[in-house]
Structure 1
Amino acid sequence: MSDSELLVAVLARFARLLPTARELPELLDELLRGAVEVLEPDGATVTLCLPQQPEYFGGIPEKLLELEACQWDCALGPAVVAHSCGNAMTVTDIAHYGDMWPEFADLAGQHGLSSVAAVPMRVEHTETGVLSLYSRQPRQWTERDLSVAALLAGMAAGHIVTVDVVRQHQRVAEQLRHALTTRIVVEQAKGVIAHAHHTTPDAAFELIRTHARRNRVTVHAVARGIVELGLRI
Structure 2
Amino acid sequence: MTDRTAAHALASTTSALVGGLNVTDFLARMLGDVVELFDVDSAAVLVALPDGALDVLSATSHEATALEVYQAQRHEGPCVDAIRGDGVVSASSADEVARRWPDVGTRMLATGYRSVCATPMHWQGAAFAGINVFASAERALTTADLATLRTFADLATLAIVSPDQLDGGALAARVARALDERVVVEQAKGVIAYRDEVDTAEAYRRLLALASAAGRPLDEVAAELVTAAARGR
TM-score by length of 2: 0.63
The one-letter code sitting in structure 2 at the alignment partner of 1:12 is A
Partner of 1:57, secondary structure, is strand
Asked if 2 retains the 8 angstrom alpha-carbon contact of 1:31 and 1:153, the reply is no
Post-superposition offset of 1:54: 6.4
Aligned partners of 1:31, 1:128: CA distance in 2, in Å?
18
Aligned partners of 2:14, 2:48: CA distance in 1, in Å?
23
Match of 1:34? Answer: 33
Match of 2:130? Answer: 130
In structure 2, do the counterparts of structure 1 residues 99 and 15 end up closer, same or farther at CA, with 3 Å as the change threshold?
closer
Match of 1:18? Answer: 17
What runs of 5+ residues in structure 1 fail to find an aligned partner?
171-233
Partner of 1:137, secondary structure, is coil
Asked if 1 retains the 8 angstrom alpha-carbon contact of 2:56 and 2:69, the reply is no
Partner of 1:31, secondary structure, is helix
Q: What is the aligned residue count?
A: 166
Partner of 2:162, secondary structure, is helix
Aligned partners of 2:25, 2:85: CA distance in 1, in Å?
27
In structure 2, do the counterparts of structure 1 residues 69 and 54 end up closer, same or farther at CA, with 3 Å as the change threshold?
closer
Match of 1:150? Answer: 150
Match of 1:44? Answer: 43
Aligned partners of 2:100, 2:6: CA distance in 1, in Å?
35
In structure 2, do the counterparts of structure 1 residues 40 and 26 end up closer, same or farther at CA, with 3 Å as the change threshold?
same
Asked if 1 retains the 8 angstrom alpha-carbon contact of 2:45 and 2:57, the reply is yes
Question: Percent of aligned positions with the same letter in both sequences?
Answer: 22
Asked if 1 retains the 8 angstrom alpha-carbon contact of 2:21 and 2:159, the reply is no
Post-superposition offset of 1:50: 4.3
TM-score by length of 1: 0.63
Match of 2:117? Answer: 117
Post-superposition offset of 1:97: 4.3
Deviations 1:117-151 (A, max 9, x none): 00111245143311111111211221112111111
Say which one has the larger Rg.
1
Match of 1:5? Answer: 4
The one-letter code sitting in structure 2 at the alignment partner of 1:96 is E
The one-letter code sitting in structure 1 at the alignment partner of 2:46 is T
In structure 2, do the counterparts of structure 1 residues 164 and 17 end up closer, same or farther at CA, with 3 Å as the change threshold?
closer
Post-superposition offset of 1:59: 1.8
Asked if 2 retains the 8 angstrom alpha-carbon contact of 1:57 and 1:68, the reply is no
In structure 2, do the counterparts of structure 1 residues 15 and 60 end up closer, same or farther at CA, with 3 Å as the change threshold?
same
Asked if 2 retains the 8 angstrom alpha-carbon contact of 1:79 and 1:89, the reply is yes
Asked if 2 retains the 8 angstrom alpha-carbon contact of 1:46 and 1:129, the reply is yes
Query: How is 1:1-233 mapped onto 2 (pairs within 5 angstroms)?
Result: 3-51=2-50, 55-98=55-98, 100-163=100-163
Aligned alpha-carbon RMSD (Å): 2.6
Post-superposition offset of 1:14: 1.1
In structure 2, do the counterparts of structure 1 residues 12 and 67 end up closer, same or farther at CA, with 3 Å as the change threshold?
same
Asked if 2 retains the 8 angstrom alpha-carbon contact of 1:49 and 1:56, the reply is no
Post-superposition offset of 1:100: 4.7
Deviations 1:8-38 (A, max 9, x none): 2212211221134543321211220121122
What runs of 5+ residues in structure 2 fail to find an aligned partner?
171-233
The one-letter code sitting in structure 1 at the alignment partner of 2:11 is A
Aligned partners of 2:31, 2:107: CA distance in 1, in Å?
21
